[in-house]
């Protein structure tokens, strides 16, 4: 099965939503179009994981696998939209996101900055909710046998709960009430990213192919460690990355005091007293360059790169014996986590 099949499934899903949105009125139609735009530009590795796993176990539910892959991608879109609202970000992948689009529209109409910001947040929350419900509906109507569909819905439900717990922990740890340990930070990232981005698509593909419970459990573990590796690289790009290439801010994580493993490690180094003043506020280009230098000199950047490599290797050691081609990790950017960070500024 090609990636075109999952792209087509996602397109059909979005077109169905477009018809419903148009019936609700022009403002709602514009909201749906902003949601559609939020699905564009990604690597689509999550649906690729669903399909690759299904095919590796000789599954016969190709159409359902494409639909479930599209559902996972739309679930990702929902989390991205909500995450931007939580972080107060108006840009994603180098362009205005849902909140940013509607904030600008309200501002152009003559509202105050506060009113425009509120309108943007409202649009983001609603668009994320719409994407979430559409994703679950796509699973429920994917056409797989009833018992398989129930197992898939259980996987989606578990991933939703785990990811929500991780998102809440992320915000709680960012409040500045206390400093997260490296272990706490890794646990938060495991919940926030591993469950829905890696464990869910790997396990969903296997369930669609009627894999046994032990295999499904092994794929869950592979997804867990692979997700940690992916998030560690994302944390590095969230500070060292070039926004023009990554499509994400290089100051947002520092401004919002994200308790990433990068900062958790930095707190244990002699450079922390010099790093700390750059956390929790907006940074100029010069200040960003200085904190990057300090995080490198402290050894924190190297530590996270090596930790990401270790988790990626652990995932490959599980996937390869199961017959899952690790060539797919190239698509995820995880064949070599350290190489992925070469897009850093």
This prediction has a pTM of: 0.89
Length, in residues, of the chain = 345
Q: 64, 7 in Cβ contact below 8 A?
A: no
Alpha-carbon distance of 224 to 58, in angstroms, equals 24
Q: Show the tokens assigned to 17.
A: 């939503």
Query: Does residue 286 have a pLDDT over 70?
Result: yes
CA dihedral defined by 167, 170, 175, 177, rounded to 10 degrees? Answer: 120
HSE-up (13 A, CA, CB side) for residue 95: 8
- End-to-end alpha-carbon separation of the chain, Å? 37
Under the banding of pLDDT at 50, 70 and 90, the label for residue 328 is low
From residue 264, give the alpha-carbon distance in Å to each of 174, 269, 301, 304. 12, 10, 11, 10
Residue ranges and CATH numbers for the domains of the chain are: 1-40+62-143 (1.10.600.10)
Query: What does the mean pLDDT of the chain come to?
Result: 91
Q: For the segment 4-42, what is each residue's pLDDT rounded down to a tens digit?
A: 699 999 999 999 999 999 999 999 999 999 999 999 988
pLDDT digits (tens, 9 = 90+) for 299-327: 999 999 999 999 999 999 999 898 887 77
Residue 164 phi, psi (nearest 5): -60, -40
Q: Which residue has the tokens 């819905």?
A: 153
Pair 288, 262: CB distance under 8 Å:
no
Is the confidence at residue 345, as pLDDT, over 50?
no
Q: 35 near 10, Cβ under 8 Å?
A: no
Rounded mean pLDDT of 254-259?
A: 87
């Amino acid at each position: 099965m090609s990636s075109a099949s999952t792209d087509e499934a996602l397109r059909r899903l979005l077109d169905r939503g477009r018809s419903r949105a148009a019936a609700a009125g022009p403002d709602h139609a514009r909201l749906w179009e902003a949601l559609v735009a939020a699905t564009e530009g990604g690597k689509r590795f999550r649906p690729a994981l669903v399909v690759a796993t299904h095919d590796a176990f000789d599954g016969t539910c190709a159409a359902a696998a494409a639909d479930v892959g599209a559902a996972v991608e739309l679930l990702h879109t929902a989390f991205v939209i909500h995450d931007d609202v939580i972080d107060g970000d108006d840009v994603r992948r180098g362009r205005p996101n849902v909140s940013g689009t509607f904030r600008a529209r309200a501002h152009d109409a003559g509202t105050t900055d506060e009113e425009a910001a509120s309108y943007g947040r409202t649009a983001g929350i609603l668009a994320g909710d719409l994407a979430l419900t559409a994703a679950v509906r796509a699973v429920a109507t994917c056409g797989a046998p009833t018992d398989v569909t129930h197992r898939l819905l259980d996987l989606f439900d578990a991933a939703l709960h785990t990811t929500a717990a991780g998102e809440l922990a992320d915000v709680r740890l960012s409040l500045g009430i206390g400093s997260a340990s490296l272990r706490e930070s890794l646990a938060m990232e495991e919940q926030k990213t591993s469950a829905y981005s890696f464990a869910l698509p790997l396990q969903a593909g296997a369930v669609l192919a009627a894999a046994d419970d032990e295999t499904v459990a092994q794929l869950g573990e592979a997804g867990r460690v692979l997700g940690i590796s992916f998030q560690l690289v994302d944390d590095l790009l969230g500070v060292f990355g070039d926004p023009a290439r990554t499509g994400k801010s290089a100051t947002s994580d520092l401004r919002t005091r994200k308790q990433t493993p990068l900062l958790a490690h930095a707190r244990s180094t002699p450079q922390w007293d010099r790093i700390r003043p750059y956390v929790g506020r907006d940074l100029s280009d010069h200040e960003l360059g200085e904190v990057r230098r300090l995080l490198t000199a402290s050894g924190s950047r190297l530590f996270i790169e090596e930790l990401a490599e270790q988790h990626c290797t652990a995932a490959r050691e599980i996937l390869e014996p199961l017959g899952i081609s690790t060539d797919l990790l190239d698509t995820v950017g995880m064949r070599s986590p350290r190489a992925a960070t070469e897009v850093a500024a």
